[in-house]
């Protein structure tokens, strides 16, 4: 799930996953972090879900995927757009 908070010249995008699904650490990787695993690792929230917030420039489109333990790559099914093999977020 994606949560967006528009700001003056940027957008705060929060990437959210359920607790423990998939198990182990999960990071979001994309063109905004040069596809580097571990840069943006999802952390537990009070509601039990895991999340990480990334500040992105407004009026852009960014490709991303999630990477879980065991080299398990997956997309965000709630993303409004898919650009095989990636999910996309519009800011």
Structural domain spans, the chain: 2-90
Cα separation, 91 vs 23, in Å, equals: 29
Backbone angles phi, psi at 63, to 5 degrees: -90, 145
- Say if residue 29 is exposed, middle or buried (CB neighbours under 10 Å; 0-12, 13-18, 19+): buried
Instruction: For residue 59, name the pLDDT band (cuts at 50, 70, 90).
Output: confident
Instruction: For residue 87, name the pLDDT band (cuts at 50, 70, 90).
Output: very high
Query: Does residue 80 carry a pLDDT above 90?
Result: no
Cβ contacts of 10 within 8 Å, gap of 6 or more: 55, 56, 57, 58, 91
Q: What are the pLDDT digits (tens) for 22-56? A: 999 999 999 999 999 999 999 999 999 999 999 99
Instruction: For the full predicted model, state whether its pTM sits above 0.95.
Output: no
- Say if residue 51 is exposed, middle or buried (CB neighbours under 10 Å; 0-12, 13-18, 19+): middle
Q: What is the chain's Cα-based Rg?
A: 12
Average pLDDT for the chain: 93
What's the CATH superfamily of 2-90?
Answer: Immunoglobulins (2.60.40.10)
């Amino acid at each position: 799930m994606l949560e967006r908070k528009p700001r003056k010249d940027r957008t705060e995008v929060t990437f959210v996953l359920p607790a423990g699904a998939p198990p182990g650490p999960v990071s979001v990787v994309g063109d905004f972090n040069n596809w580097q695993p571990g840069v943006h690792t999802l952390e537990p929230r009070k509601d039990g879900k895991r999340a990480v917030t990334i500040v992105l420039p407004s009026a852009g489109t960014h490709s991303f995927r999630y990477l879980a333990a065991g080299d398990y790559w997956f997309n965000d099914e709630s993303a409004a757009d898919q650009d095989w093999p990636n999910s996309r977020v519009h800011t």
